[in-house]
Every structure is written in C-alpha cells, then in structure tokens.
A and B are shown apart, each in its own frame.
Chain A
Amino acid sequence: MTLLTIILLPLLAGTTLALLAARYSRSASAWAVAGVTLCSLTLLLGFSDAVFSGQKIVSSTPWMPELGIDFAFRLDGLGYLFALLILCVGLLIILYAKYYLSEKDSMGKFYALLMMFMAAMLGIVLTENILLTFVFWELTSVSSFLLIGFWNHKAESRRGARMALIVTGGGGLAMLAGFLLLGHVAGSYELTKIFQARDVVQASPLFFPILILILLGAFTKSAQFPFHFWLPQAMAAPTPVSAYLHSATMVKAGVFILARLYPVLGGTYDFEIIVSVVGLTTMAFAAYVAIFKHDLKGLLAYSTISHLGLIVFLIGLSSPLSAAAAVFHIINHATFKASLFMVAGIIDHECGTRDMRRLRGLFKFMPYTATLAMVAAASMAGVPLFNGFLSKEMFFVESLSLSHLGWFGDVAPFVVTFGGVCSVAYSARFVHNVFFNGTATDLPRTPHEPPRFMKIPVELLVVLCILVGVLPALTVAPLVFLAATDVFGGTIPQYTIAIWHGFNLPLLMSAVALFGGLIFFWLLQKRFNLHLHAPKELNGHRIFVHLVESLRAFARWLTALLQNGSLQRYLALLVASVIALGAWPFIEFGYNTGDAPVTGFNPVAIMVWVIAVVAALASVVMHRQRLTAVILVGVVGLTTALTFAYFSAPDLALTQLSVEVVSTALLLMALALLPQVGPKESSNGRRVRDIALAVLAGAGVTALMWAVLTRPHESIAWYYLAESMPKGGGTNVVNVILVDFRGFDTFGEIIVLGIAAIGALSLMDGLKMDRKLSTSFLNPVLLSVAARILLPFALLVSVYIFLRGHNLPGGGFIAGLVTSVALVMQYMAGGLVATSEKLRMNFPKIIGSGVLVAGFTGLGSFVFGSAFLTSAFGHPIIPFIGEVPLASAASFDLGVFLTVVGATMLTISALSGASRREPKLIGAAQ
C-alpha cells in the first residue's frame, strides 16, 4: 500500500496543495510541492534495503478482477531506479521552475500539472498490472499535453501540445491493444504471471502482433524514428517541462516499457532486430540532424532523440551487458541532458533568444554557467572522465558483437561511430557558438549570471556527471547492476564499469568520434557557414500535420457528401433500406402464397378500385395543382372508408369518414396560406429514382398482402369475441377492445392526439399569415345556415353514438370526431370565428381534463386492488337509447371523447386563428 502512497501523494496532495498554496505566494506553492515530492522520495528510500537485497515488493488490492484491473504495484531494481530518477530530477525542476516562470505565469497551475505528471510517471514505473500501467501511460500523455500547451496563447504551443497528444496517445492505444492481447495469451495482466508465461507468449501466433503493437506504443513515446517529430515540436513548452518530461523522464517511459517487458518479449530474433535497427537508425539520424539546428532547444531535442535511440538500441540487443549499458546511459543522459536544458533555459531567460545565429561569446557574461554547460556538453559528447563517456564506451563495445545479426551486425559499428562523430560535432557547436565565437552584437537583453538558486540544480547535476564519470564503481554501479538484472531477467555475469579498459577497438572508436567530430564541426563551421543552413522543408512534423489536415478535409468532404441536408435523400435512403430489408428474406427463402380460398370480384368493388386507383394516380400527376390534389386525396380517403364499410368494419368506416372531413378541412385551411401551385423542380434523374422506389414499395406491399390474404388466419381474437359480452360488458367487440382489453393503447393514443394539438397551438401561437387563397368559396350563406342548424343535431347524434358505442358501432372517438366535425363546419361558415380566441384558451384544459378523466378512471381500479384500467360495469336501461353500459369503461370513453374534441378543435382553431387575415384582393383565386 505504501507504494500506492508514493503515487497518491503527488497526485492528490501535490496537485491540491500546489493550487491552494499558490493563493498565498508563488514560493509557497513551490515549497509545498517540493515537500510532497520529498515525502514520496523518503518513502521510496525506505525500500532501499529491501530492493538492494534483491527483493521484488509486490502488493495487490483487487478492484475489477473481472476486467483484470487491480491496484497491483511492484517495486524492483528497475522501478526503483526510475522512481528515484523521477523524484530527484523532479525536485531540481521544481526549484528551477520557481525562478524560471515569470510573474504572469500561474505558478499553481504549473506545479499542479507537474505533480500530476510526476504521479503518472511514478505510476508507470511502479505498477505490476499492465492495464494499470496503461492508465498511467495515457495520464502522462494528457498531462504533457497540458504542460506543452501551458503558454496557450502561442500557436506553436497549441500545435506542439496537440501533436504530442495525438502521436503518443495514438501509440498508447496501439499499446493497449498489445497489452490486452498479451494478457489474453498469458492469462493474466500481472507482470509476475506474464513473465512466467514467457514461453507460451513467444510460442503464440499472436506474438508478432503483440510485439508490434507494444513497440508502437514505446517508439512513439520515446520519439523513435519515424515518430520522433513530435519531440522537437514539444519544445514550445516552458524549459523546465522540456528538461523534465522531454529529456529526463517521460520520453524514457517508452524505453522503460521495453526494459520492463524485456523478460517476456526480449531474446527473440524479431525483438532484437526490430528494436536495435530502429534504435540505431534513430540514434545516427537524429545526431546528424541535431548539428544543423539553430535553436538551442531544437539541438538538444534532436540530441535527446539520438540518445534515446542509443538506449533503445542497447535494450534491443539480447546481451546482459547491453542491458547494463542501457540502464547506465539512462541515468547519465538524464543528468547531463537535464542540466543542459536548464542552461538553455537560463540563456533564453537572460538573452531573450535561443537562436545560435544571434548568440555568441556568452562566456564573458556568464563564465560560471558557461563552465557548467561545457562540462555537461563534454559528457554528452562522451569525453573521458565524464559519465557520458563510460556508457558510450559500453555502447561501442556492444555494437561490435552483433555478428549474429548478419549484415546489420557488420554495418552497426560504422553507423555507431558516425553517430558518435555527429554527437561530438553538435556538442562542439553548442559550446562554441554560444559561449565563444566572438562577441554578441544583437541580443535583446544584456545577459548576466542567473540568480543563485537557479544554478543549484545545474550544479548538482554537473557534479553528478563528474562523480559518476570518475568513480562509477562507488556511485551508481550497484544500482545499475540491480536494474540490469531486472531487465535481463535472471542473473547477469559480473562486469565492471571502468574508465580504462586498455587499448582496444572501442577506445579507437571513441577517439575517432572525438577528433572526427571536432574536425567535422570545424569543417562545417568554417567551410560552409552553418548559420546559413536552412532547415529542410520536408520533415516529419510537416508530413504529420499534412496527414491530420487531409484526414480532416476528408472527413469534411465525406460528411458533406453523405449529409447534404436533403430530406429527399434521407427519405429515399430510408425507403430503399426498408425495401431491401423486407425483400431479403424472400430472396433467401423464396416467396410463396397460401392456399386459403379467395373471394371473386364484384362490379361495385371494381368500381371503387378504379376510383381509388385513378384518384391516387391523379393526385400524383397533379400534385402541383394543390387544391385539386387535396380533393383527390380526399377521394382516396372516402374509398378507404367504403372499403372498411364493405368488409364489415362499421366503426372504422365512421371514424375514417369523420377524420376525412376534418383533415380535408385542415388541409384546405392550410392551403389557403401556402402557394397554390408547387414549382416543377425535380430533375428527371430524381424522378426516375423516385418512381423506381415507389414502384418497388408498392409492389412490395402488394406482394406481402397477397401472401397474407391467401393464407388461413388464426389469431387470439377468438378470446375477445368470447369474452367481450361476459367480461367486457359490451357487444361491440372493437369498442370493448379499445376501451377495455387494450384500453392502454387508447390511453396512449389520446395523449398523442393531445400533444399534437398542443404542439400545433405553440406552432401557430401569435402567427399571422396572409392568405394566398380566399376560403370564401367555402362559406356560402347556405353552408353557414346549414352549419347552424346542424350543430345541435350533430351534438345530439354524437351523444347517441357515444352512448351506444359499447354495444353498437360508435364510441368516444367517433362521437368526439362527429362533434368536432359539427364545430368545424361552424368554422368553415365563419360562425365561431369571433369566439375562437376565447375557446383556444380553453382547449388545452379540455384536453387535460380528458386525459385526467381517462387516467383517474384507470386509477380508480386501484381502490379495488386491481390493475390500472380494470373495468367494472352494469347495464341500466335508458328510454329511447336502450341498454347503456354504465361501465367504468364509459367514463374512460368520456375522457377519450373530451380529448378528441379538445385536440381537434385546438388544431383547427389554432390554424384559423393564424389565418384570419383575408388577402387584399378577395377571390383572387379561381
């Protein structure tokens, strides 16, 4: 659990304290986070003995065993080394940043993010569960995104931040896939078990994909070629960030993963060849490019990439000593590179520029800092007596024993030497161009030594460089050995890190590198002036930006192409898909009709058929003559009603008729406000498409119906016929179904009707439109008179229909609709216009009461302990009307009635309210 604390301290305490303390003072914030870091450090050091005695501390608390994610942590040599690195460098950075950041930068935010990152980094190196590792891995990506974008007003910060996130985040996703597969094959996500399953994994057919996916993650994070380009862009970050994340720690996360998983992935040919080749390529290539960078941080960035390549190369090789060399170089690189970045920051801070074409002769102004920088640079170049030399020497040694890798083994030494030459060259350029090379002329500010405390971190690191360089055995050797054993797994042969190995090939290589590098630099500088060198146009980040941009362009294009905002297309797609879906099974299983008897034609039916078909087709042909079209459609509606009537569905016929009247009225009123003639705009191509779709749809419906109508029919309807009387208390089965058996449908349906009306009201609210068409032809005196006479009669009829509904065709709907029809005719006759305003206010309440009546009727049954809508009934006889079901169903039906009337009237009145204004020229139409 203490392991978890090491991580949680910065993650929780660190971030919050940073923000809180920042309210008091900037230094308070700094001290707070430094304190937190120290706590974590002491906790870590507490484990030293255990670790050095070779123990591996593993603690695990289950969280989601099913997913394989547990809070499992692990501390061994490798983790210890990295954790130590992260915390120590972190401390120095905190101190450095305090002086580096300017007054207008938010100290609290910076430290909070730094702590978040530190926690994430510690998480990576201390987890036992690889899924948890991934969690922290992506957390580093996110926090680095925020840290790079810290100066978010700068365009390059934003670009750099997003690029870093996308590249490393994307690599992370690949790695996740790799981890999942690895866990799948190994049967566990816990490192210990995975290591045990080494042979299983390496034998599995999935091994190669696993390897590639994980390497993708590692290479992107550690900026290996060809994914290196994001790192230089990330230099837009404040220098402390560059020093910490982008040289000392985060970019080493990839390296760490390689080292961590070496026991399971390493040792195979695939691993060795891929990793070492990529590493070496990166190392040489980046070293060469670094020489030509004019920006100090740019140079350091490429140097970092090159050194990362070096380490990756070493880890790739399957020899114990290379592992040791790798671990050793990780430490050394952290020390000298961090210090160099800090110096770069100081110079930037003091001179206001990092451009080596403007900087020169700074030795005069800041001799002390200069000396520190030169030592660090020497170490970077691999000059003897400095730590860089030692690891580089080991690196040379390793590069000489690759005979088993074929041609690669033969060229490796030369590439290595070339890389060495280049790194000496750029180190030389760094020192020469910045500190000597004449006197500075056009500096924004006149530089001088930085504040005392700003130098301390640099001093410490540089001292370390020398100490390790001179007395390796007494300083880091044990730690290196420990970590190396963890990387390589099992035991590794004894070896000694020493300055002097006698005259041998590696020494020669070092010499070549050293002098060759100096000469190389001298040539470049004197013969062709380096400063005139313009960086190449075609480079990684441009390609990447281009890729992302073109992806976006593609996305834009595709989206616009698919979603052209045309309803016609969307509907066509819908219709087409449904036709395809509906037709598919028949293609699959074939189309067959049943053997039920079909009835023959009769003349009346044929006549109705003709009317319907002709009207329908005509309405299509003439759909632009809108008035005509409305009437034709109405005709089709009437034939529908007739059909219902003919096939023994009187209720439907009645309903259809009354609905027909109302909706036709509605359409006419609407038409009065719309252009009478639709434009002729569909292209022929579209027409053909639509006709094809229409025909297919029609054919489909016919086919389906034919298939059904020729089949014998069995349904649960027998139950309704049997129970309608005894249990439903009504002879009109349809009505009993509506108000009783399936009353719940009706309940929902009246609500639909109600909402629709409410919606119509709010649509028309306060709307005043000019009529395109006078509806005067709709209200001759006769009609209005008729309407007035009709109204009471119609109301009477509807009462009758309502009451008999339960036993004979009729019921709430039809009654409601008939009433509405009567009232609508009043509207048509203009009779109620005056009062419509008042009525409109009330209709919603009528609807509401309708729903409430129906609803509470249903709830009533709760009282009797039975379910919603359970009916109870008796049959009093009322004179002239006959037997009336005084059933709870009736009061439910009353609710229906009210809602229907309210909704219909609201819809109509809303519309008529909107269209009250007559056009200037009355009767312009027709």
Chain B
Amino acid sequence: MSHFLVLPIILPALTGALLLFFGGRLAITRVISFMSCLVLLAISVHLLSEANLGAIQTYALGNWSAPFGIVLVLDRLSGMLVLLTSVVAVAALYYSMQGWDARGKYFHALFQFQLMGINGAFLTGDLFNLFVFFEVLLIASYCLLMYGFGEQRLKASVHYVAINLTGSAIFLIAVSLLYSVTGTLNMAHIAERVATSSPDDIALIRSAGLMLLGVFGVKAALFPLYFWLPTAYASASAPVAALFAIMTKVGVYAIFRFTTLVFGGAIGASVDLTSPWLLPVALITLLLAALGAMAAKRLLELIAYLTIASVGTILIAFAAGGTEGLSAALFYMIHSTLIVAGLFLLAEMISQARGDAQDTLHAGPTILQPVMLGIAFMAGAVIVGGLPLSSGFLAKLMILQSTAESANMPWVWGMVLGTSLITMIALSRAGSMLFWKTSYEVSASAKAPVTTQWLPVIFLFGCSLLMVIYAAPLKQFTNATAEQLKNPEQYIFSVVGQTLDRAPRALPKEAK
C-alpha cells in the first residue's frame, strides 16, 4: 500500500516533536518547519492527483482492517482539503517568519501540530479518531490563539477554550451513544449499521447524530454557536488567523462527510438529518454575519465576520442545492478559505502601515505604501465581495444557479444577493476609511510592509485568480467530488467492504 496517505499526519507530527528540541533556536526551526511544510504541499498535490482518479484509497493503520482498526480514507474531498490546508499553511508560515514566530519559543512546533490535527481530521475514517484529531487541532489552536498574549487574546482564549471543551464533552457523549447502538466506531461501518438499524433505535441514533452536528456547528461557526468566533479570530496574530481560516472549514467538512455518509439514506434512521433546520440556520448565519461585518469597528473583525458569512453561504448551497449545490459549495469553500486567509494577512499589513490607528475603521493618518496596499485591498474586497470577475463571483453564480430549481429559491437568492450588497457597503466604507479619509501626515509608529509579508498575500490572491482562469476544470472536479459524496456506497465498500466478517456480536456472558 502507498504510505503517502499517512504522511500528511505523521510528517507534521514528527516535525513538531523534533522542533521541541530546538526551543529557542529560531533560524534552524524556521528551516525545518518551512521545509517540512513544502514537502507536505508536494505530498498533498500527489494525494489529490491520486484521489482524482476516482478510486477511494484506504490506509489501515497497524494493518488492522476496518472496522476493527483505524483507517485513513482518501477521497476527492479529503484530498482537496488536505491540499487546501497545506497551501494556506505555506503562506501563513512564510508570513510568520517576518517576526511573529520569534515572539515565543514553540510557534513552529505548535503550527506543525495544528497541521497534523487538521489533516488527521480530514483523512480519518474513524469517528473516535476524528475526535482525537479535533482535540489535537483544538489544543494547538488554543496555544496559537493566545500566542503573543495581551489581554485581548487571553480573554478571547478563555472563551474559545471553555466553549470548545464543552463541545468536546458533547462530542464524546454523541460518539459513544452511536457506539452503544451501532456497536462500531468506523464511519463507513456506522453508516452501514444505521441504514439497517432497528426502528426502536432510530431516536437514539438521530439524537446522537444531531448532537454531533451541534458540535460540528460550533467548529463551523453556525448560528447561534458562532458568537465566540469574531473576537477570537480578530485577536489572533495574523498568520494564526490565516491558518484559522481553514479551521471553520473543518467543521463544514465534518458536516458534509457525516451527513452525506451516514444520513444520506432514504429510510429509517438514515434519512437526511439536516432538513428542515439547516437551511434556515444557514440563512440566519449569513444575514447576521453580513450585518456583523457592517457593524465591525475593526478591519480584522470585519474579516472574521466574512469568514462566518462564507460558512453560511456554503451551507446554504449545501442545504438547498442538491448535488449541484454541494459542488458549488465546495467551489465556494476553496475560494473563501484562500481569500479570507489572504485578507487576514493583508489586514495586519494595513494595520502596521497605519501605525497607531491600527486597523480601526475610522479616519486615521496617511497609510504607507498607499498604492500597493490600496490595490491589494481593492482586489481583496472585489474577490471576497463576489464582484466580477473574481472567484467569489463565479462561486456565487454557481450557488445561485444550483438553487434556481429549489423551492426556497426566493429566500436563497434574496439572502445571498442582499448580503452581497451589505458586504459591499461594509467593504466600501472600510476602504474609504482606511485609504481615503486620511490626514496628511504619517503616523510615527507606522511600519511599511516588507516582501516577506507581500509574497504570501500575493500567493493567496494569485490562487484565487487561478481559480478564475481554471474555473471550468475546477468546477468539473467539484462536481465529481459532490457526486462521490452524494453516493456513499463506493466509500462504504472501499472502507469496510473487504472485511466480510464485520458484524457486531454480543459478547460472551455467563448466565447470572
């Protein structure tokens, strides 16, 4: 079997562990960390190309075949997200070398462990293992979030940690509940068991499923569970925030994977778990996020809200658009992750270049590098606002088209377009505050962004441009991905199909 499948998890893990030995020695940690990140990128490219062949690959850890052992599963979706992660990671890591990573001993180690957690979550086929990787990425994110300290960060961290620890508790309850009924932990096997579960267990199963979705909702930042996010993301250091752009997507991924795999059926316990409540929730999320963006007093806050808005949009498409919608949602997912990550980085550069005024959205001093930063912000705003001709526009177009047939079309279109307008208002105001409504002198504390900062931003925006140029093939890919998700039989078969004797049994009990 090809060991590539496990590398996206092992490589960062061992790199991270190794980095613990070079606590303070920045130069060498940088080299190791970044090299490993590049290798990771290469591996992910390879994996995606493998996945795109259509066959679903599995990797049985310890040679214990599913459902008894833990297996990693590579399909188009996981391949796509692993690649997306490493793309964002490379950019964020490179950016951090401008100085963020020097502010604490173990930045790079933590960063690597974070990557391990995210990739693990995307690749694992085992529900409890998913929990473990959630914990890995969470604990790493706790450390990264408060990285650099300051009151604001610590407050945000307390909220973030407390909420997610509670979430983890719920996760455990839901997972074990599913185990108690289905007698297994492997997601494919669970799907199989749920489909054939006895009528008496329907309520238990769906209750567990819904609680899981609740937990994923916290990660994905859905209404009413996203309130912690804006402060947290807005107070994180730029590279961390950029990396966090992918974190909400972990939640979204979990929702996609879990609902399509386990609750994609037509009868019994396996009928769709997301209707009818997901669409309204997603619509509300989008609306509130857009309003939040309008209300934001700082640029970072604004971008944090746009992150939430993107989640809302994605789930709207998922809930209302069928397979077409899912494909559109995936396209949008790639787009929004890239652009939001880029914007988080850009926002900090702007904040630096303004000096004391930082990223507050009111009249301030003249900004350094006004032309470059201005153009960059304009580009970013156009892309994230979904104005033509950007990846955002195409993605939005796909979503609108995919929902044209839906009965909820008026709601979806109204909300998507309406919030686009609100976002436009918010962004234009922000832009005019940051770049136009300025006094004539430059703040003393202003620092002009350096190349180390520019490159990753250009890189990420460039990716979004590539999405426009190669929109057609990319859309075909997301179509294929959506198809694969909507037809889980192949997944289930390739994961547990080979193990013929896999049915749960009653354990031997001597008569009492």
Contact = CB atoms under 8 A, between A and B. Distances in A.
A and B from one complex: yes
A852 B14 contact: yes
A480 interface: no
B159 A567 contact: yes
Nearest to A66: B475
Contact of B294 (A555, A567, A591): A555
A744 to B, nearest CB: 5
Contact of B18 (A180, A715, A848): A848
B16 to A, nearest CB: 8
Given A582-B207, A852-B18, A708 B177 contact: yes
Contacts of B388: 134-136, 138-139
Contacts of A869: 61-62
Contacts of A870: 62-63
B26 interface: no
Interface stretch (A159-167, A190-198, A468-476, A804-812): A159-167
30 contacts: A152-B435, A177-B400, A180-B400, A180-B404, A555-B294, A555-B295, A558-B295, A562-B227, A570-B159, A582-B210, A584-B207, A589-B203, A589-B206, A701-B173, A712-B506, A713-B506, A716-B67, A719-B68, A720-B68, A721-B507, A744-B132, A745-B70, A751-B16, A751-B136, A762-B106, A844-B106, A851-B13, A851-B14, A851-B20, A867-B3
A136 B291 CA distance: 28
B106 A64 contact: no
Nearest to A135: B388
A752 B136 contact: yes
A867 B59 contact: yes
A586 B203 contact: yes
Given A582-B210, A594-B200, A851-B13, A758 B472 contact: no
B181 A708 contact: yes
A745 B502 CA distance: 21
A859 B9 CA distance: 12
Contacts of A590: 203
Contact of B20 (A63, A562, A708, A848): A848
B139 A752 contact: yes
B177 A574 contact: no
Nearest to A157: B436
A142 B382 contact: yes
Contact of A578 (B142, B170, B228): B170
Given A755-B113, A848-B18, A716 B502 contact: yes
Given A704-B177, A717-B183, 17 more contacts: A67-B475, A135-B393, A149-B432, A169-B387, A170-B424, A174-B417, A570-B228, A577-B224, A581-B210, A704-B173, A711-B201, A752-B135, A752-B139, A755-B110, A758-B109, A861-B62, A871-B62
A608 B295 CA distance: 54
A756 B387 contact: no
Contacts of A584: 206-207, 210
Contact of B180 (A67, A556, A711, A868): A711
B207 A586 contact: yes
B177 A762 contact: no
Given A162-B429, A180-B400, A714-B504, A573 B180 contact: no
A787 interface: no
Contact of A591 (B139, B203, B418, B512): B203
B6 interface: yes
A162 B432 contact: yes
A740 interface: yes
A556 B301 CA distance: 13
Given A583-B207, A584-B207, A867 B63 contact: yes
A559 B291 contact: yes
B345 interface: no
Contacts of B225: 570, 573-574, 577
Interface stretch (B33-41, B79-87, B211-219): B211-219
Contacts of A754: 17, 20
A848 B387 CA distance: 48
Interface in A681-739: 701, 704, 707-708, 711-721, 723
Interface stretch (B44-52, B161-169, B241-249, B251-259): B161-169
A542 interface: no
Contacts of A155: 437
A862 interface: yes
Contacts of B424: 165-166, 169-170
Interface in A595-626: 597, 599
Contacts of A599: 512
The 5 A-B pairs at the shortest CB distance, nearest first, are namely: A848-B20, A715-B183, A152-B436, A851-B17, A135-B388
Interface residues of B, number: 123
A847 interface: yes
Contacts of B203: 585-586, 588-592
A789 interface: no
Contacts of B488: none
Contacts, number: 337
A563 B230 contact: yes
Given A571-B163, A740-B62, A867-B62, A558 B288 contact: yes
A73 to B, nearest CB: 15
Contact of A559 (B162, B292, B436): B292
A138 to B, nearest CB: 5
A741 B104 CA distance: 37
A66 B472 contact: yes
A859 B214 contact: no
Contact of A716 (B60, B159, B295, B504): B504
B411 interface: no
Contacts of B117: 748
A556 B472 contact: no
A145 interface: yes
Contact of B295 (A131, A552, A582, A763): A552
Query: Main SS of chain A's interface residues?
Result: helix
Contacts of A149: 432, 436
A869 to B, nearest CB: 4
A65 interface: yes
B202 A585 contact: yes
B146 interface: yes
A142 B387 contact: yes
B105 A743 contact: no
Interface string B408-440: 000001000110111011001100100111100
B493 interface: no
Contacts of A844: 20-21, 23, 106
B99 to A, nearest CB: 17
A866 interface: yes
B54 interface: no
Contacts of A165: 424, 428
A741 B389 CA distance: 51
Interface in A197-242: none
A294 interface: no
A482 B104 CA distance: 73
A570 B291 contact: no
A158 interface: yes
Contact of A551 (B204, B217, B294): B294
Interface in A793-850: 844-845, 847-849
B448 interface: no
B443 interface: no
A565 B139 contact: no
Contacts of A856: 14
Interface in A652-698: none
A862 B4 CA distance: 11
Interface centre among A599, A712, A723, A763 (most CB of B within 10 A): A763
Nearest to B132: A748
A876 interface: no
B508 to A, nearest CB: 8
Interface string B159-201: 1001100110010010001011101100001000000000011
A562 B163 contact: no
A157 to B, nearest CB: 8
B110 A758 contact: yes
A747 B133 CA distance: 10
